[in-house]
Amino acid sequence: MQTELYLVRHGETLWNLEKRFQGQNDSPLTENGREQARILGKSLQGISFDALITSDLGRAAETAGLINSFLNVPVFLTEPLLRERNFGIFHGLKREEAEKKYPREAAMIWSGNADAVVPGGESRNQLRQRVLRFLDDLPVKYPGKRVLAITHGGVVNTAIRLVLGIPFDAPRRFKLPNTGLSIFVYEKNEWFLRAMNITCPLKDRQIYDDTV
């Protein structure tokens, strides 16, 4: 019996374009981000989903609503485990602003140490525990079902690393575009990655690829 997880990063936001740390704060989707969500929704028509689960942060919830306007998934839930990493004192700042305002804390976080905690926020390993709990719970709650989940770049990155066994202090060597779709399959008591960060063509539109 297989459980399938279609995991999607939210659409482009204003703070994505400004390269500000969003974390568990929010900024609105741009019109480009809304169009990304609509195009993905159209591309997923014809696939039957048993549940749609979204992060409870506004940018993910709006992306989920736009996608679901094409799919009409009957079960539509919010899940705090799917929130982006909490960036604490860095929220709303650009990287260079964070480095200027909090040089010691920024140097600690940029070091790559997965246990380094953003003051007022989370470490990579704390995010890892949240995502692991979500992945562990999903096959129990939805055995043999297909679930669509809308989340954030940090969560997608974490899920891929967990399933592929990539160390959390290793540099990221894969892209995480807005509304990129990754497909995971749970079988024989293990998660497998079937596809990673599929994107739909957007005429003359840029795909933002950062995870702040």
Sign, CA dihedral 158-163-167-170, equals negative
Question: How many Å from the N-terminal Cα to the C-terminal Cα in the chain?
Answer: 36
Considering the candidates 10, 62, 91, 105, report the single residue annotated as catalytic.
Answer: 10
pTM: 0.94
Q: What is the mean pLDDT of residues 23-27?
A: 95
Q: Catalytic: 79?
A: no
Average pLDDT of the chain to the nearest whole number: 93
Whole-number Å distance between alpha carbons of 105 and 82: 25
Out of 3.40.50.261, 1.10.10.10, 3.40.50.1240, 1.10.645.10, select the CATH number for domain 3-198: 3.40.50.1240
**Sequence-separated (6 or more) residues with CB below 8 Å from residue 137:** none
> Which one of 4, 62, 84, 105 is the catalytic residue?
84
| Residue 84 annotated to the active site | yes
**Residue 212, pLDDT score:** 47
Domain boundaries, the chain: 3-198
Q: Which pLDDT tens digit goes with each residue over 105-164?
A: 999 888 889 999 999 999 999 999 999 999 999 999 999 999 999 999 999 999 999 999
Is the predicted pLDDT of residue 200 greater than 80, yes or no?
no
The residues near 74 (Cβ < 8 Å, ≥ 6 apart) are: none
